Structure 1
Amino acid sequence: MKSPITGKPMELVRGKTTLEFRKEQFEVVYHSYRCTDSGEEFEDEELGNLNLGQVYNAYRAKHKLPFTEEIKNTRSQYDLPATTMSEILGFGVNQYRLYETGDIPSETNARLIQMAANPDEFLRLVELSDAVKDRQKEKLLKRIAELKQEKTSWKIMQEKMLGVHMPCEFNGYRKTSPEKAYHMVRYFADNLKPLKTAINKLLFYADFYHFKKTGTGISGLQYRAIQWGPVPGQFDYLFKMAEEQRVITLKYEIWDGDKEMVIIEPATDLVFREDLFSEEEIKSMQIVQAKLKSLKTSQLVDISHQEPAWKENIDGKKLINYNYAFDLIGV
């Protein structure tokens, strides 16, 4: 960005500051462009969204309000238009659509949306509403019944084993999505067929790079600092469950006589599900792949050891706050 005062290119600067939202104070990593001649600082639209997004995310997490992705998913699972969803919940006609595009719901409306995510609770709301009738209602009730059946013991187990968490600063303000995590693994398996150690680093860099650009992660995975660099908190379960779901194949080979290598390869009966990701998320994964694809596993480990995210959390093998993304070195 060029300075509106001098017309010269400005430097990108960032630092911690406190911003107010709804009469509450939140600490953010504030980004701006600084004019080197005048010392004045400016935002463009991208940086403004990143700065405000940090405040909104912190506010939602503090008050346990649903994030936009959760709100979209709640409606899409019932295959309803936003106007109908609004009417069932007793909102204004277009209110649900506004929540899906970033408006933060009141606490009362937020709790209704969170209740609606549960098919049993949503059924009660539908029965109390006159918003759907006849054939549409019959179709909706059938869909609710299907969703109740889909909550199988396998889904419950994978959520428990993988560690599904509500949005917070340790998962990039994204509710953990096992399916997205599996297909992030698949994306890199399709293109690189990496070792398990390497893919742990690629996942870390994809999630943290996306947070650096947008203020949210991709998968909702939590990462921990261990000897070999940042890794998903339950990475062994992640790969095993991805293989169980036939998204990837784990190939075991012996190297140097007695050392076991685990290579991540794409499974043959399923393809990478691009529809799970936004265009921005796909772009972030593409950038990470392009930047790191030529590196050997040992080089990826070395680079990850230079990250403040690893250096400042390796003692005690602590979880890594996604705010370390703003200090990212590797990408």
Structure 2
Amino acid sequence: MNNEKRRSNAMKGICPACEKETELEYVTRVEDIAVRDENIPVHVEYFKCLECETEFDDPHSTYDPLEVAYHEYRARHGMVQPEDIKTFRERFGLTQLELANLLGLGGATLSRYENGALQDEAHNTMLSLAMQPDNLLDLIEEKTSVLSDEKRNRIINLLKDITEEREKSFLSIFETRFGSYPASILSGYQPLNVAKLLNAMVFFCKGVEIPKTKLNKLIFYADFKHYKEYSISITGSCYAHLPHGPVPDKYDYYMATLFYDEKAIFIDERQFPNYTGEFLSALKEPDLSIFSTTEIKTLAYVKEFFEKYNAKEIRNFSHEERGYQVTRNGELISYEYAQFLRI
């Protein structure tokens, strides 16, 4: 019965083994294809000769199961896809050879990757980094002989425009999402200034390894100290009462931005008997040009004042602040209590 059903679904065609026209069965199924010791299930299709049982690919099909497996493997591991390379290269008007020379790869190697070959981990990292505008700009400015002067200048200008637009867009989105509150006593009568907040964090992390708990307190003291002296905060951040002391509202988003987006800080996780501690250090210089003279003076004062304090000591110190004592967990701390600040 099965043979009859198979023959009813068969078609005429040339079997390469029989070397003649026979009845062929079209077969589809899912098979595992091994890619670097990992099995990737892939849909496969082929013909089977009903006379000699030989299985063979459709010579007219453009479907490649191995290519599909490679694509899935890259997707699973967050790797650059061939179409990403081509789109990136064409966006900036780079030839394969030009991009290969910028990366220090052979032209044939890049061509293989763009046409579907599976790159190794080192080359994938290289490609992924080069596709970041800041990194591509560094490569072009470093390897001046790869491109003509005209093309190099055109791409440099384009990259700078992209970077500036990205930064403006990011700050605008961030401030809209988290700083849409009106300037009030809760923000030190200052609208949220993300650039100042992030650069103040980098300032406090520069040249030291600082516990995250301590960093949050330093930002708090800088804003409240400046409000105490000049009746306006530095960053416009609101501060929330949390168990370890006052912290910038939504502080986790700012930390993530500095680490993942800006790549301005390094976070070192350390294991202690009862907890995991996070220590931060700056990877970039803070942009101090955005601060006023009084703001820089206040930042420097706070950094020096708490220089010898560890995380526990500054936490306990902050717990004695009037604004912290009169609020409960999760509540915002009004800048009106800056007049009672202990520094």
Using the size of structure 2 for normalisation, the TM-score is 0.49
Shift of 1:309: 0.8
Unaligned segments of structure 2, at least 5 residues: 1-160
Identity %: 24
- Equivalent residue of 1:218, what SS? coil
- 2:288 equivalent in structure 1: 274
Find the aligned partners of 1:166 and 1:242 in 2 and give their Cα distance.
Answer: 25
Q: Quick one: which of 310, 321, 325 aligns to 2:334?
A: 321
- 1:260 equivalent in structure 2: 276
- 1:178 equivalent in structure 2: 194
Counterpart residue type for residue 277 of structure 1: F
Deviations 1:87-140 (A, max 9, x none): xxxxxxxxxxxxxxxxxxxxxxxxxxxxxxxxxxxxxxxxxxxxxxxxxxxxxx
1:216 aligns with 2:232: yes
Shift of 1:158: 2.5
Shift of 1:153: 5.7
- Equivalent residue of 1:192, what SS? coil
Shift of 1:219: 0.7
Shift of 1:250: 1.9
Find the aligned partners of 1:160 and 1:253 in 2 and give their Cα distance.
Answer: 34
Find the aligned partners of 2:230 and 2:315 in 1 and give their Cα distance.
Answer: 25
Contact in 2 for aligned 1:206/1:288 (Cα 8 Å): yes
- Equivalent residue of 2:281, what SS? strand
Contact in 1 for aligned 2:194/2:235 (Cα 8 Å): yes
1:297 aligns with 2:311: yes
Find the aligned partners of 2:239 and 2:332 in 1 and give their Cα distance.
Answer: 6
- 1:286 equivalent in structure 2: 300
Deviations 1:208-227 (A, max 9, x none): 00100000010111001111
Report 1:37-56 matches (<5 A). Answer: none
Deviations 1:254-289 (A, max 9, x none): 222x5211111101xx31111010111010011111
- Equivalent residue of 1:237, what SS? helix
Find the aligned partners of 1:323 and 1:299 in 2 and give their Cα distance.
Answer: 24
**Aligned residues, how many?**
182
Q: Which has the higher contact order (CA 8 A, sep 6+)?
A: 1
Contact in 1 for aligned 2:319/2:325 (Cα 8 Å): yes
- Equivalent residue of 1:171, what SS? coil
Give me the CA root mean square deviation.
Answer: 2.4
Contact in 2 for aligned 1:161/1:234 (Cα 8 Å): no
Shift of 1:316: 4.7
Cα 1:151/1:203, change in 2 over 3 Å? closer
Contact in 2 for aligned 1:162/1:237 (Cα 8 Å): no
Cα 1:227/1:316, change in 2 over 3 Å? closer
Contact in 1 for aligned 2:214/2:311 (Cα 8 Å): yes
Find the aligned partners of 2:164 and 2:298 in 1 and give their Cα distance.
Answer: 34
**Higher Rg:** 2
1:241 aligns with 2:254: no
Cα 1:260/1:212, change in 2 over 3 Å? same
Unaligned segments of structure 1, at least 5 residues: 1-144
Find the aligned partners of 1:239 and 1:150 in 2 and give their Cα distance.
Answer: 19
Shift of 1:159: 2.7
Deviations 1:166-207 (A, max 9, x none): 321111111101111111101110043211111111000010
Cα 1:146/1:304, change in 2 over 3 Å? same
Deviations 1:25-80 (A, max 9, x none): xxxxxxxxxxxxxxxxxxxxxxxxxxxxxxxxxxxxxxxxxxxxxxxxxxxxxxxx
Shift of 1:147: 12
Find the aligned partners of 1:255 and 1:262 in 2 and give their Cα distance.
Answer: 11
- 1:36 equivalent in structure 2: none
Contact in 2 for aligned 1:175/1:220 (Cα 8 Å): yes
Contact in 2 for aligned 1:192/1:293 (Cα 8 Å): no
Counterpart residue type for residue 187 of structure 2: N
Find the aligned partners of 1:299 and 1:152 in 2 and give their Cα distance.
Answer: 38
Counterpart residue type for residue 226 of structure 2: H
- Equivalent residue of 2:289, what SS? helix
Find the aligned partners of 2:265 and 2:180 in 1 and give their Cα distance.
Answer: 21
- 1:205 equivalent in structure 2: 221
Report 1:97-246 matches (<5 A). Answer: 154-160=170-176, 162-243=178-259, 244-246=261-263
Shift of 1:157: 4.1
- 2:76 equivalent in structure 1: none
- Equivalent residue of 2:210, what SS? coil
